[in-house]
Every structure is written in structure tokens, then in C-alpha cells.
Chain A
Amino acid sequence: MIRKLSFINKIYIIIAIIAMIILAVSMFTYSKFSNTLSILTETTKPDYESIRIQTVLNRLNKIDNNAKSYVITQSKDYLKNFKSNVKELKLKSKKIITDFSSNTNLLVLDTLINNKINVLNQLILTQDLKENTDGLSNIIREINSNNKSDKNKIWNKIFHSKNKVNKDEVERIVNNVKNNETLIKDTLITHEIKLLSEDKNISNKITDFISRFEIKEKEKLLNNASANSYAIESSRVILISSSILILIMLIILMIIIIRYVNSNKSYKLALQKEKEYAEKLARTKEQFLATMSHEIRTPMNAVTGFIEQIALGPLNEEQRSQIEIVQKSSEDLLYIINDILSLSKIESGKLKLEKTSFNITETIHDLKNSTTSLLRNKPVTLNVNIDTKNDIVIGDPYRIKQILLNLLGNAIKFTHKGSITLSLKELKPNIDKTNMLFKITDTGIGMTPEQLDKVFNTYEQGETKTERAYGGTGLGLSITKRLIDLHDGSLTVKSKKNEGTTIEILISYPISKKAEIPTEKQQPVNKKLLQDKTILIVDDEPFNRQLLEAILNKKNIHTLTATNGIEAIEQVNNYHIDLILMDNYMPQMNGTEASIKIRELKDDTKNNIPIIVISAAVENNDVSNYMSAGVNGFIAKPFKELDVLYKIEQVFEGKNSFEPKGKHKNEKPSNKIDFDNLKKLCNNDQDFYTDMLNTFIESTSESSLALKKKLARKDTESIAKIAHKMKATFGHLEAFGIMNNLSAIEKNCKIDKPIHIIKVLVDDTLDQVNETVNLAKQELNTVQDG
């Protein structure tokens, strides 16, 4: 398969090609340049060979001149010069031949020179001979020679004893001599002419040789020049072509970069689209999960509710065991739904930990109680060890319960004999903080190191087959891990296959200053309190209405029903109603809207009927919306009989999870302020305490006045700010009801809720605030009187 080159690789390749071209061109140009340079050096170097040949030729000319001058003038000086020059010339010629041995032509030149010297020598000789043929000397010589020959003759002795010269003889001799002389001279002249011609011949040859030599030199020069121009030309061609090549490469590079940038842009766009799509998908998923949860919880409510009702009735053994199985299965199903929702919430970062004071040892005991039933008939004992000094801490009791329940549930699931120990130990506590070490040890099936690695991953169990054997979504441990992370806690797991598992969780908690937490354990319902009351059940689901009717009628409570908010308001207007159980999601008018409308009724006997919302929408913001609407309590679906009765009882008694806003006759004012904190702060400084009370009264009155003013101007922004500011004061005095109301006001203002809703909240809150101011005034009086 051909893999497409990546952008970076393309760039690397092109850069490498460009670098190679530059390198090759540089090397080529360099070699050409050095060639040209050496040729030029060679050319510009003086030509010693021709210079020396020229010197030899000059010398030869001198010899020629010397010889010819001597022939004409017979001056001995010329002859002398001639001889010395000849000697020197021969030496030079020989030297040239030795120095330039490669040039065989020089031997020819040498031969020619020697020939010329010979001819010139002969010419000189001829000249000397000519000189010697002088007439008088010839005659004397002739006579002398005659005398010599005659001395020996008798005749000469007789007639020439006195050396007398015979005239005829002399004339004859003279004539002879003359003739001889003429003859010799002619011969010599002829010879001389011949020599001269030969000399000329040799000179011509030498000239010829020189001119040929010069032509060769010229050719050599021409060759060098053409080689140079060729080298320069080829370098130029290479340079131009490589420049063009580099240019092309750069253009390609540019195109690649531009294309890359463009494709990057389109990738970016595509990514952006994908991101938006993913976000939309995530929102849809969340919405889907929320809806699904609501949709499942609503029928589940009917299922569990009616099963509970059936279980309470007369049943035979078989039916009871079947009902128990159905109950167990619906509980399991609810766990699974809760698991999925928890994970979804954690993943979307929406899960926030609560910060409330709770008793951690009680939580552990509760856990033991609720999990013991899970052991069923297994030969397993569940032990609890607690070693703490600070039991009341600030944190999220529900989440720590969820963590431990998941882990305990697992331990129970995977332990078939032996024991499970849940221990809690407090480590290094200081004034404000403590570290709680939770340890769950079991003697169960354990895990291999490989399983241990994966066990906290989402949707994974120890082994895929484990899921089939033991059930569960595999989400529990993943949720547990994430919940621990959310607590900034640490988790360590030690496990050995077939020996057991030990899980340790270390979480740090702030220590609560509260001495004890009021227990919210469900007390037996006070039947008298509920008797003869009329409760309106508002729900669009017939099953739910029937279920609630069944629960309430058993307790002799009268019931009325409505299927939506509009019907509910009609019922409220037409009948005397003591309490409303209101579903939230209903057609035409939902529970929140209906509650607001009821609170806005003019009839004081109607607008303060306690309302309890029953809904599967259990998110924090849902609950705070119900609260903002002025309802008195909230029950999550699916609910149990006791949940409903207990909550109704609480509301009738005026103590519930929300601070009551209605003015029901049975309600007690709960906007009590706690001066203890202030007293502690003052540390017995009475003056300061008085001052603080005065400040509280003054500051709160000012804020209340400001709230009223801003409400009249419908200035929600300012209302939000004032409410925000007031929270700190009431927080300090632990008037949490008012604090919650102020939060609700702030929130509703920020989300631009209709002013009439805000008005109800503000008015209600101001009433409570005024009560606290009155309490503060009473306290002030007591202090001052005391």
C-alpha cells in the first residue's frame, strides 16, 4: 500500500533535494572554476621554451652576422666573436634539448643550427683561402719553389750560381700564378656562392621551423582559451538550470505549504463542526438520560409502590417469595438507573459534593444495617471497627455512603465464605481537619494484577464472564473511583486471587463545630396528626394517583385528585384542603406553576396550603426551583409509603427540608437565629455583643428597606445584589432558611424570573427577616436589662 507522504516529510524531501542541487552545483562550479584558473595560470605563465628558443635564434643571428662581417671585412674581431658565439650557442642548444626533452622538434632545430654553423665555418674557410691566393705572394712562392727545384739542377748551378732571375721565367711564373689564381678564385667564389645559398636554405628552414613552432604555440593558446570559455559556458548553463530547478522546487514547496495551510483551515473547520456536533451529542445524551430516568422512575414508582402495598396484604408463602423477588429486582433496576445517572453526571462535571455536617460513624453503622440483608444466607460475617475522635464532619454523606455501599456490595458479591470488615480510622486530625481512612477487607475471590488494572475502568468488571456470573453494569467501581477523586481522596487496592481484597480510601474532611446532628430517622407516624385531613393528589399518571390514594386512605386520610395544575387550582378553590401532593411534570400546567398560582391566591385560607412536590426530577436546580415556587417539601420518585407519610407528618409539624413559606396554622416559625455564634465571637465582651446586635438590626433594616425599594422599581439586578450581600449575615447567625430564601431570590433575579414570583419570595423573606430583627431586638433588651 502506498502511504501518502505527510506534510513534514514532503517538506524534508524538497529541502533535501534543494540542498543536494546546491551542493552538486557548488561542487561542479568549483571544479570548473579551478580548471579555468589553472588554465589561466598556465596561459599567463611566461613560455620559457619559446623565450629560450628566441635567445638561441638571436645568438644564431649574431653568429651569422659575425661570419658574414668577417667575410667582408676580414676583421679578426668578428672571427673571434664568431667563435665564442658558436661555442655558447652550442651549449645553449644542448641545454634547451635537455630541459625540454619532451619536445623532439628541438632536435631538428639543433641539427639546423649545427648545419648553419658548418656552412658559416666553410664560408670563413673559403674566405681565408681566397685571401691566400694573393698574386705577389704566389709569385714569390712560385719563384721560391722554382729556385728550390733548380738548385739541384746542373744548369742552374752553371748559369744561376749568382741567383740571377730569368725574365721569361718570371713572366711565365707570373702568368702561371695569375692563371692559377684566377682559377682558384673562381673555384672559391663558386664554392662561396654555393655556401651562401646553402646558408640561405638553412636559414629558411630555421625560419620555417620557428614559424611552425609559433603556430603550434598559438594553437595551444587558442585551445586553452576555448577550453576556458567552454568551462565558463557549461558552468553558466549548470548555474542557470540549477537556479531554475531550485526555483521550481521552491514553488512546489510554497504550493505544498499553502495547500497544507488551506487543508489545515478546512480541518479546523471540520474539527469545529465535529466539536459542536459532539457537544450537541453530549447535551442530547444528558437530556436523554434525564428524560429516560424520569420516564423509568415514573412507572417504577407504580411498580415498587404497588408491590409494597401487595406485600403488606395477606399473601401465601409462594406469593411472598415471588413478591420479594420482584421487590429485589426493582431495587436492582433502580440502582442501575442511579449508577448510569451518577456516571453521566460525573462525566459532565455536574456532580457537586454537598457540604453539610454529618455523623460519619452513624453513616458506617447505617451502612452495616443496610448491607447485612445482602449477605442473605452466605457463611460470611460483616464486621465494623470504628476508631475516631471527631465523628461530626462536613461533607457529602450521601456520596460517601454511595462509595462505601458500592465497595461493600462488591465485597459481599464476591465473598462466599469468611468475613468482610469495614473499618474507619481517624488519622492525624488537627483543629480544623481530619483524615478518615476507610478500609474494606474481604476474604473473597480476589483479583489477579491484570484484573486489578482494569477494574476501575468504566463498564469493566474483573472479567467479562464475571459480569455474567455476578451481574451488574460494571459502572459501580468506576463511579466509586470518580467519586473518590471528587473528594480529592486516595484509593489503594490490594488483592490476591482466591485470597481476598483490601481497599483503602483516605478522605480528608473539615471537622464540624456542631456537637450533634439531629437525626432524621423516620419515627412511627403519628396517626392522630394525619387523621381526618384532606389531601389533594395532583398527578397525571393514574397509577401514581391510585398508589397515593391507597397509601393515604389506609391512614384514614381523605383524598381528592387532580390530573394537572389547572384542575388542582380548581380543587383548591372548591374544597377545604389541608395539604397538596403535587407532581411536577404534568400537561397544561406543571406543578411548579400551579404552586406559584396557589401562593398568589387572594384567599388567605387557600394561598398557604402546604404543598409537597413529588417528582422524579431530582437535580439540585430542580429542587431549588420547587423551593423558589414556595412549596414546603419534596419527595423523590420512586417513593415508599413511609417516605410519603413521614414527609406529610413533617410538613404538618412544620419541620421539613425546606423552610416553610406558607402560614399554615400548624407551622412553627423556623426563622430562628442562633446568637451562640455571635456570643462566641464576642467572647463575653458584653459591649461588643450589644454593638453587634445593634449593627445587625441597623444593617438588616437598611437592607430590607433597600430590597423593598428595588422591588418597587422592579430592579432585579439590585435585588440580586442585596440578597447576595445579606446571605453572609444570616449565614453567620445560622438562619439557613432565610439564607436559602435569599439564594433563591438571587437566582431567580439572575435568570429573569417574572417579577411577581420574585415579589412573593421577597415579601416572604422580608417577613422572616423582620422576625429575626425583632428577635435581635428582644435579645438586645434582655442583654441590656440583664
Chain B
Amino acid sequence: MKKNKKDVNIVIVEDDKYFNKVLTKYVETICDEKVYSDFNFNIKSYHTAENTIQELEDDTDIMLLDYYLEHENEVDLLTGADVLDEVTKHCDECKVVMISAQEEKGLTEELKNKGISAYIDKNINSKNRVGAVLQDLLKDM
């Protein structure tokens, strides 16, 4: 008998095209439906805060968010903070995982207070960390 799978919607927001693909691939590798047979993963990725906010759905479960979103062509720039605000407003259940370089420890603390679930340093071990964080989050679903 076929089980009713739970939809897990994951959104990746990273402006760097290369790193965005790397992250998406990480997530796809980790969210293997052979491993998580109860879940039906739906992974989307965006490069800008604007696109993310426009396409944001309130049933988003997990968001990997680069805090320093930068886009050369946009004059009136929305940032990772704006995305975080929208997510907290509209997606009650959404777990936000912040991804950034490690320099700003103070900011990390501030963001944790704002309700982010985890923080990932952009370093070579991102994959392991992304894996660990995702596995943790999926455990609770």
C-alpha cells in the first residue's frame, strides 16, 4: 500500500550563482527520498530577495538563506533581513537556516534572537554542516 507522503518544501536563497548551485546540489543529495521515504521533497532556489519574497509560499518548511544578498543590477535592494521578516510574518512553521561567512558573530546572535533555527558558515565544510542541520530539522517534521 502506498503511503501518504508529507510534502517538505525547501527554499534556497543565495545570490552567488555558483554557490547557489552547490547548495542546491547539497540539499538534493541530503534530501534523498530513498532515505526519507516519508517525505516528498520540493526544492526551489532563488538568487534575489525580491524573487524569494514574490514567490514565497506560506507552506515553506525550510529556508536556507544567505544574509548578505547582493545584486548588482538592482537599485532598491532588498536584503536577507527583509526575506527573514517576510518569512516570520507569513510562514509560521518555516525553519530558517542562515548561511553566511563567519566574521560577524554579533549579527549571528542577533539573528538567532530573531528566530533563525541555525547558522551555517560558508566554508569548505558547508556540506557537512548543511547535512547535519537539515537532518536535525527533518527529524522534527
Contact = CB atoms under 8 A, between A and B. Distances in A.
Contacts of A721: 68, 70
B22 interface: yes
Interface stretch (B11-19, B52-60, B83-91, B107-115): B11-19
Interface stretch (B1-9, B37-45, B121-129): B121-129
Contacts of A683: 29
A729 B19 contact: yes
Given A677-B124, A692-B21, 17 more contacts: A681-B29, A682-B25, A688-B25, A691-B21, A695-B18, A696-B18, A698-B17, A699-B18, A702-B17, A706-B72, A721-B68, A721-B70, A722-B70, A726-B16, A727-B101, A728-B126, A732-B22
B122 A731 contact: yes
A80 interface: no
B124 A731 contact: yes
A397 interface: no
A733 to B, nearest CB: 9
Interface string A695-724: 110111010001000000000000001101
A510, A677, A691, A732 pick with most chain B CB within 10 angstroms = A732
A734 interface: yes
B26 interface: yes
A702 B127 CA distance: 25
A432 interface: yes
Contacts of A413: none
If over half of A's interface residues share one DSSP class (helix, strand or loop), that class is named, otherwise mixed; here it is helix
A695 B122 contact: no
A725 interface: yes
A732 B19 contact: yes
A681 B25 contact: yes
Contact of B16 (A355, A678, A699): A699
A702 B72 CA distance: 10
B132 interface: yes
Contacts of A724: 68, 70, 101
Interface string A496-522: 000000000000001001000000000
A734 B132 CA distance: 21
B122 A692 contact: no
Given A432-B128, A721-B70, A725-B68, A731 B123 contact: yes
Interface in B102-141: 122-128, 131-132
Given A688-B25, A731-B122, A731-B123, A432 B132 contact: yes
A729 B72 contact: no
Given A722-B70, A724-B101, A725-B68, A692 B29 contact: no
Interface in A732-752: 732, 734
Contacts of A695: 17-18, 21
A721 B128 CA distance: 26
Contacts of B18: 692, 695-696, 699-700, 729, 732
19 contacts: A355-B123, A431-B128, A432-B132, A678-B22, A681-B22, A681-B25, A692-B21, A695-B17, A702-B72, A706-B72, A724-B68, A724-B101, A725-B15, A725-B68, A725-B70, A729-B18, A731-B123, A732-B22, A734-B124
A725 B16 contact: yes
A548 interface: no
Nearest to A432: B128
Nearest to B124: A731
B38 to A, nearest CB: 22
A706 B124 CA distance: 25
A607 B17 CA distance: 36
A510 B122 contact: no
Contacts of A688: 25
A618 to B, nearest CB: 21
A394 interface: yes
A683 B18 CA distance: 17
B101 A692 contact: no
A700 B128 CA distance: 24
Contacts of A692: 18, 21-22, 25
Contacts of A678: 22
Contacts of B72: 702, 706
Interface in A429-446: 431-432
Contacts of A355: 123
Contacts of B131: 432
A699 B17 contact: yes
A696 B22 CA distance: 10
Nearest to B70: A721
Interface string A649-666: 000000000000000000
B26 A681 contact: yes
B108 to A, nearest CB: 14
Contacts of A513: 125, 128
A510 B125 contact: yes
Contacts of A699: 16-18
A724 B15 CA distance: 12
Given A706-B72, A731-B122, A510 B15 contact: no
B71 to A, nearest CB: 10
Interface in A478-532: 510, 513
Given A706-B72, A721-B68, A721-B70, A729 B127 contact: no
Contacts of A725: 15-16, 68, 70
Contacts of B29: 681, 683
